[in-house]
Amino acid sequence: MTTTELTGAEDVAWNLSDLYESGDDPRLETDVDEAESAAAAFRNRYHGEVAGLDAAALVAAIEERERIESVFTRAIYYAHLWFATDMTDSQRGALVAHLTEKGAAVETQLLFFSLELADLGDEAAEALLADAALERWQHWLRSVRKYRPYLLSEPEEKIMTEKVVSGFAAWDRLYDELLGAIKVDLDGEEIGFEEAMSKLYSPDRDLRGRASEAVTAALEPGARTRTYVFNTIAVDRSIDDRLRGHETWISARNLANDTTDEAVQALIDAVVSRYDVVRRYYTLKARLLGLERLSFYDRMAPLAEDPEQMAWDEARELVVNAFADFSSETGGIVERFFGEAWIDAPPRDGKRPGAFCATNVPGVHPYVFLNYTGDRRSVLTLAHELGHGLHGYLAAPLGLFNASTPLTTAETASVFGEALTFKRLLAEEDDPKRRLNLLAGRIEDSIATIYRQVAMNRFEDAVHTWRRDEGELSPEKFEELWLGTQADMFGDSVDIGGYGSWWSYIPHFIGTPGYVYAYSYGCLFALSIFRKYELEGDSMVEPYLDLLRAGGSKPPAELAEMVGLDLTNPDIWSSGIDALEAELDEAEALANEAGLG
Ligand SMILES: [Zn+2]
């Protein structure tokens, strides 16, 4: 990465004083102490008593529970945000470690509350839920209680929780350590795994090929151990599911994601049935690169030799205008992020890589963290994170519990904001070649989020199912299932020779089984709302903003209803794919017109 080029973002730093003055601010320790003593008082008052509370008393308890968490969350957000901008500062690291420990202690004090709520008899719970006083907490209470059919007795739950440390969590950590230790020997030089993978973005095909061979060689030594870890995680999941009574390997994940096995299967089916989009795109890309057929290591190759850079001020104008075009309210909110120093923009020494938005910071406003370099991706990342920021800003009045969204709807506003910005970027570009590059980048992002994640879910499904039905898998079996599920997606469009062991560096398979489909779910959900906005125009503005204002206070199906979408209808998934296909049509047309490839 060349960071020598100036973008004008170099001095764009956030102002954290809306939270605390500094890491030494005495208010920080006062807040943490207050949260701790309030948690102890909460436990004294309510432990063993939850079943006896009437609706009004329960509301008071939930509100106090939320208040304690809000106070603590503010403090720990500050620590994380402060640390993210300079990870080499040991004072900042120490504050994060200190507050993480305090947080675990506070959490342990409060854990009983959800357990006792889940333990309420159905009749008693329904009577409470029917009480008008609890209306605001309906969804929150139902979310806590949805685990009820799968909970074990208290002593059993205690053993399960304690044994995680030496079971699941231990295997997960071992896997992380194994991955972290992988070194790649590229052209006689030893480099880190991430650095080797970054060579796949090089315009030099020969380098991409050598890097991929080097990665394959580096994945070889620990393959048997990593295979063993995945086998163990799979059997651990199957034991948990059997004891708790979950129907399939992914049912527990779906429950946590506020969705159902049927809805997720409908998503998977819709995406799998449209794998042709992926094949068409990679066939086009091979043509544009002048290749007979892509190898798996060509998928990330750049189409343009010297990509355009966008200065910070230009990106700001583009993104603010894109949001303002949608509605003056959203434009005004997004402008505040720039005007009031809620964004930390440039890459700096010691700063954490990547980008994120601290969406629900109680009592304040969201903060956006970037490493802005001015390339196309970082402009869209700015729009993405500001979408999260808009969502958090609009939902903030609901309070922490009701504003927080599950994974499945967390990406709604971010994907939508990216789509708005991309459309504007494309509209401002007349040059056919540059239009084609923009579209290709957009399609590749969509393939990575929608299709790659579903193909990985098919691999996970095959592994877990095999482990349950047939027993332990050999390394060869893993390769066979990986290549099989990848080939289902690529067809003949991509040569996957040499790709067999590349499943084994993806941490999600181990750390959060079943996780990956949520990317596809969230992206297609947002794109189908965007598609509806494109078709119906301004009449969608207020319903969409109401959906954002509702945060996580309703289940995804009810949020979808607010914008006239039906989550039980599989069309919701195909309409997002239609939007992608329209972009692909245009890219093909541009390539043909320009006689490219
Ligand atoms: Zn996001």
The 10s digit of each residue's pLDDT in 540-585 is: 999 999 999 999 999 999 999 999 999 888 888 988 899 899 999 9
What's the 329 CA to ligand 1 centre distance in angstroms? 21
pLDDT band at 597 (very low <50, low <70, confident <90, very high): low
Residue 1 has a pLDDT of 43
Average pLDDT over residues 178-197: 91
For the ranges 2-11, 112-121, 128-137, 138-147, the lowest mean pLDDT is seen at 2-11
More confident residue, 88 or 62: 62
User: Percent of the chain having pLDDT more than 70?
Assistant: 99
For the ranges 131-145, 166-180, 420-434, 498-512, the lowest mean pLDDT is seen at 166-180
Average pLDDT over residues 492-498: 96
Average pLDDT over residues 424-450: 92
What's the 111 CA to ligand 1 centre distance in angstroms? 28
Contacts of 182 (CB under 8 A, 6+ apart): 193, 218, 219, 222, 505
Average pLDDT over residues 178-187: 91
What's the 522 CA to ligand 1 centre distance in angstroms? 9
What's the 170 CA to ligand 1 centre distance in angstroms? 28
Average pLDDT over residues 186-193: 93
What's the 519 CA to ligand 1 centre distance in angstroms? 9
Average pLDDT over residues 348-355: 88
Q: pLDDT per residue over 48-57, tens digit each?
A: 999 999 999 9
What's the 518 CA to ligand 1 centre distance in angstroms? 12
What's the 22 CA to ligand 1 centre distance in angstroms? 28
What's the 162 CA to ligand 1 centre distance in angstroms? 32
| pTM for this model (two decimals) | 0.90
Residue 306 has a pLDDT of 67
Residue 368 has a pLDDT of 98
Q: pLDDT per residue over 277-304, tens digit each?
A: 999 999 999 999 999 999 999 999 998 7
What's the 386 CA to ligand 1 centre distance in angstroms? 10
Element (H, E) at 183: strand 183-186
pLDDT band at 8 (very low <50, low <70, confident <90, very high): very high
What's the 302 CA to ligand 1 centre distance in angstroms? 23
What's the 378 CA to ligand 1 centre distance in angstroms? 13
Separation in Å, CA 196 to CA 170, 213, 272: 27, 10, 30
Taking alpha carbons only, the member of 205, 208, 204, 182 closest to residue 194 is 182
By 3-state DSSP, what share of the chain in percent is helix, strand and coil, each rounded to 5? Answer: 70, 5, 25
Spatial contact of 176 and 507, defined as CB atoms under 8 Å apart = yes
What's the 54 CA to ligand 1 centre distance in angstroms? 39
What's the 542 CA to ligand 1 centre distance in angstroms? 22
Residue 224 has a pLDDT of 93
What's the 25 CA to ligand 1 centre distance in angstroms? 31
Task: Give the CA radius of gyration of the chain.
Answer: 25
pLDDT band at 3 (very low <50, low <70, confident <90, very high): very low
What's the 414 CA to ligand 1 centre distance in angstroms? 6
* pLDDT at residue 354 tops 90: no
SS (H, E, C) 444-464: HHHHHHHHHHHHHHHHHHHHH
Q: What is the DSSP string of 107-127?
A: HHHHHHHHHHHHHS-HHHHHH
Spatial contact of 480 and 490, defined as CB atoms under 8 Å apart = no
What's the 539 CA to ligand 1 centre distance in angstroms? 26
What's the 385 CA to ligand 1 centre distance in angstroms? 6
What's the 415 CA to ligand 1 centre distance in angstroms? 7
What's the 384 CA to ligand 1 centre distance in angstroms? 6
Residue 2 has a pLDDT of 45
